[in-house]
């Protein structure tokens, strides 16, 4: 799915190191807590104005949109994502790990949320404890992951990512990590990316050459409105 813009929730107005709690309701119509006419899963996120956390310390629209789409059914004319009984990995989950949280709420057998920065992973662990305690939290470097020859036991049926591409170099490492960690031949990769950003075109072509078939999902208005 490709939201047109990717602008982070702005924490710049807060003093450096300041924590804040953000409450979200995701998954309209899928159950959870009643809120007016819509049902939602209540999500509480701890965010911080931390320049040392890089992109992973921010809350980006891609993660919100992907989680909302999954919780509303995760399907389109061309694709349907099933989580029941599946092993799921979110790469570059950041401090919020919303898609991983959605996968856990949808009945995945095992869910791992991973990021490469220790400070981001520490905050992610606290958010996961609030929202989906069954999710495992790991520190994972994409370059190292891409060079690892994983057996099917160490791989995943579904790999998720959102807003994780910012440079050509990062896109190369992400593609390598995905191919190493995605269970073949039936593994499914689901990502939410902005329409234009350095590295995306090369990333998509790299995965196509390696045998993955892409489907572009047009997000329904119910997802855009809820997110």
| pLDDT (mean) for 86-94 | 97
Closest CA to 74 of 25, 26, 112: 26
Closest CA to 191 of 209, 176, 203, 173: 203
pTM: 0.86
Contact criterion met (CB below 8 Å) for 9 and 59? yes
Cα 139 from Cα 118, distance rounded (Å)? 7
Q: Give the E-state strand segments of the chain in sequence order.
A: 19-26, 33-35, 38-48, 87-90, 110-115, 136-139, 158-162, 188-192
For 2-11, 76-85, 128-137, 149-158, which range has the lowest pLDDT when averaged over its residues? 2-11
At residue 72, φ and ψ (nearest 5 deg) are: -90, 5
Q: What is the pLDDT of residue 34?
A: 43
Residue % of the chain over a pLDDT of 70: 82
For 13-17, 102-106, 150-154, 181-185, which range has the lowest pLDDT when averaged over its residues? 13-17
Tell me the per-residue pLDDT of 112-154, one tens digit each, with 9 for 90 and over: 999 999 989 999 999 999 999 999 999 999 999 999 999 999 9
Q: What is the pLDDT of residue 195?
A: 79
Bridge partners, 156 (sequence order): 182
Instruction: Answer with the residue of higher pLDDT: 8 or 64.
Output: 64
Tell me the per-residue pLDDT of 161-202, one tens digit each, with 9 for 90 and over: 999 899 999 999 999 999 999 999 999 999 999 878 899 999
Q: What is the pLDDT of residue 10?
A: 53
């Amino acid at each position: 799915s490709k939201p047109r813009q990717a602008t982070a929730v702005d924490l710049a107005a807060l003093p450096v190191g300041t924590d804040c709690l953000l409450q979200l309701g995701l998954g309209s119509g899928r159950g959870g807590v009643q809120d007016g006419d819509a049902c939602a899963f209540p999500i509480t996120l701890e965010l911080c104005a931390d320049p040392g956390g890089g992109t992973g310390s921010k809350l980006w629209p891609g993660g919100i949109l992907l989680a909302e789409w999954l919780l509303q059914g995760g399907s389109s004319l061309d694709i349907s994502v099933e989580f029941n009984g599946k092993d799921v990995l979110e790469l570059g989950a950041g401090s919020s790990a919303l898609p991983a949280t959605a996968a856990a709420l949808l009945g995945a057998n095992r869910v791992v949320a991973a990021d490469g920065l220790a400070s981001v992973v520490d905050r992610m662990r606290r958010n996961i404890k609030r929202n989906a305690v069954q999710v495992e939290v790991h520190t994972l470097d994409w370059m190292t992951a891409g060079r690892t020859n994983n057996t099917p036991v160490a791989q995943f049926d579904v790999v998720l990512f959102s807003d994780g591409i910012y440079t050509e170099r990062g896109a190369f490492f992400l593609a390598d990590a995905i191919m190493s960690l995605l269970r073949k031949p039936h593994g499914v990769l689901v990502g939410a990316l902005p329409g234009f950003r350095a590295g995306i075109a090369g990333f998509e072509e790299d995965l196509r050459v390696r045998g993955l078939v892409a489907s572009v999902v047009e997000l329904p208005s119910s997802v855009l409105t809820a997110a």
